[in-house]
Amino acid sequence: MRTQEIVEAYGKTHIYMIGMDDNPQPKHIEVIIKNVKHDNIFSGGKRHYEIVKPFLPADAVWIEIKAPINAVLTEYSRLIQEGKVIVSFVSGDPFFFGFASTIRKNLLGVGMKVFPYFNSLQMFAHHEQIPYENMHAVSVTGRPWHELDRALLEYRPLIGVLTDRVHTPRAIAKRMMEYHLDRDYTMWVAEHLGNPKKEKIYKIYSIEEISEMSFTNPNCVLLMKAPNCALQRPALGIPDTKFILLNDRTKMITKAPIRVIDLSLLELHNSRYFWDIGACTGSVSIEARRQYPHLNIQAFEVRKECENIIRANTRLHSAPGIDLRIGNFLNLSIEKNTIVDAVFIGGHGGKLKEIIRKVASHLNSLNGKIVFNSVSEESSKLFREAVAENGLKLHSEINITLDSNNPITILCATGKNYV
């Protein structure tokens, strides 16, 4: 909607958003429909339509909420601009990972009146009499795994998961097993909550058993950490010997003490997006993933033979969600508007200046940081020159020697407007 239309429409109700469960005879639906002013335009998912159609007028118009969601929003916007009122049916609480949140984000100024219902995770907790004030709720409904991975890596004691037809209980169980995140959790699954004939709770199965089971939709998941589990985040500095190496070459890994300093300089606690260029074994990305589960991490590696090594190391160290890109970093396509907050350059193949030039075009100018471990005066010189040529700032230098190895200079540069 255009700004003028937003102002003119202020204070009017355009959408009545009604929450519901899977009960085939929802008594509150008929009452609400009879008591709100509407234009015989109704909306919801296919399942919602099957439940509410007995209560709809004979001449009702139905807009199905389905992908692509932008097409649905366009139709909503058109009708609202024509002065129409829409009655929309959604699952549970419309503002709990729901369609009301989508409307509020995309159709600015649209007036809504919401009739919330219990969300499925609340209903699951009520059914099993589980206190849920400390539940960490995540949704993988039409979303990536990132927030579930994060919750597991943060060892949340009670995790509620909203699923979909791709991110099923079975897929969740398989992912947890793949990354060894299943050992200290129990998984319960609920189907068709609120439907007296179809409602079913699965509580007696192990995560391994659930990884081979199928469930009907809609369903949701509760993950509960064992009460006596003392598992916490790993200590910083995973020993080098714990990683699978490239051809057993001990020099082809960022050593643990250096790795710790690198991550400290990158200030990843203040970052959202992190690039690891020249990942090799994946040690830096894995360490970052385990210590900073909120991060979105991309690891770049030119050697094809490193792909299996990195993937094996991520499984070994329970580090899901690292986006691995195999190929020459300089040739890989990166969207123009991509912003990165922190970059570690672990390998450059003689193209250090070119890499820094490409990184600089995406680096957050306010708090972005680049860290590079130099093993020669020549590479240190190239780094300093590239920093100056791209309008970056040299932030710090640390000289360190490990065992009988050559001295290493850890160089850190910052974005143009870093303070």
- Angle 147-157-118 from CA coordinates, rounded to 5°: 70
The Cα–Cα gap between 404 and 303 comes to 28
Q: SS3 of 138, please?
A: strand
Residue 408 and residue 399: Cα distance in Å, rounded?
A: 6
Between 3.10.20.310, 3.40.50.300, 3.20.19.10, 3.40.50.150, what CATH number should domain 240-414 receive? 3.40.50.150
Average pLDDT over residues 352-365: 97
Q: What is the pLDDT of residues 124-175, one digit of tens each?
A: 999 999 999 999 999 999 999 999 999 999 999 999 999 999 999 999 999 9
Amino acid 249: pLDDT: 83
Average pLDDT of 210-222? Answer: 97
Percent of the chain with pLDDT over 70: 96
Which two three-digit tokens encode residue 74?
Answer: 């366009």
In sequence order, what DSSP letters do the residues of 382-396 get, joined into one string?
HHHHHHHHTT-EEEE
pLDDT of residue 8 exceeding 50: no
Residue 7 has pLDDT above 70, yes or no: no
Mean predicted confidence (pLDDT) in 307-311: 97
**pLDDT grade for 418, boundaries at 50, 70 and 90:** confident
Is residue 2 over pLDDT 60? no
For the domain bounded by 121-225, which CATH number is listed? 3.30.950.10
CB atoms within 10 A of CB 384: 15
Nearest in space to 122 (alpha carbons), one of 228, 16, 21: 21
Stretch 337-351: mean pLDDT: 95
Alpha-helical runs (H) found in 11-165: 27-35, 46-52, 69-81, 99-106, 120-128, 146-153
Element (DSSP H or E) covering residue 203: none
**Second-level CATH architecture of 12-117:** 3-Layer(aba) Sandwich (3.40)
- Res 230: pLDDT: 66
pLDDT band at 256 (very low <50, low <70, confident <90, very high): very high
pLDDT tens-digit series, residues 267-300: 999 999 999 999 999 999 999 999 999 999 999 9
Nearest Cα neighbor of 171 from 195, 157, 187 is 187
Region 372-390 average pLDDT? 96
Average pLDDT over residues 196-219: 97
Angle between helices 99-106 and 69-81 (to 10 degrees): 60
pLDDT of residue 416: 87
pLDDT the model gives residue 305? 95
Task: For the chain, give percent helix, strand, coil, nearest 5.
Answer: 35, 20, 45
Mean pLDDT of 244-273: 92
Inform me whether the pLDDT recorded for 5 exceeds 70. no
User: Which sequence spans correspond to the domains of the chain?
Assistant: 12-117, 121-225, 240-414
What is the arithmetic mean of pLDDT over 240-245?
94
- What is the pairing mode between strands 323-326 and 296-301? parallel
What mean pLDDT is predicted for residues 299-304? 96
CA distance 288 to 273: 11
pLDDT for position 11: 60
Check whether 41 has a pLDDT greater than 70: yes
CB count, 10 Å around CB of 251? 9
Average pLDDT over residues 311-333: 97
Residue 81 has pLDDT above 50, yes or no: yes
Confirm if 97 and 139 have CB atoms less than 8 A apart.
Answer: yes
Looking at every residue in the chain, the average pLDDT score rounds to: 93
pLDDT of 1 reads: 41
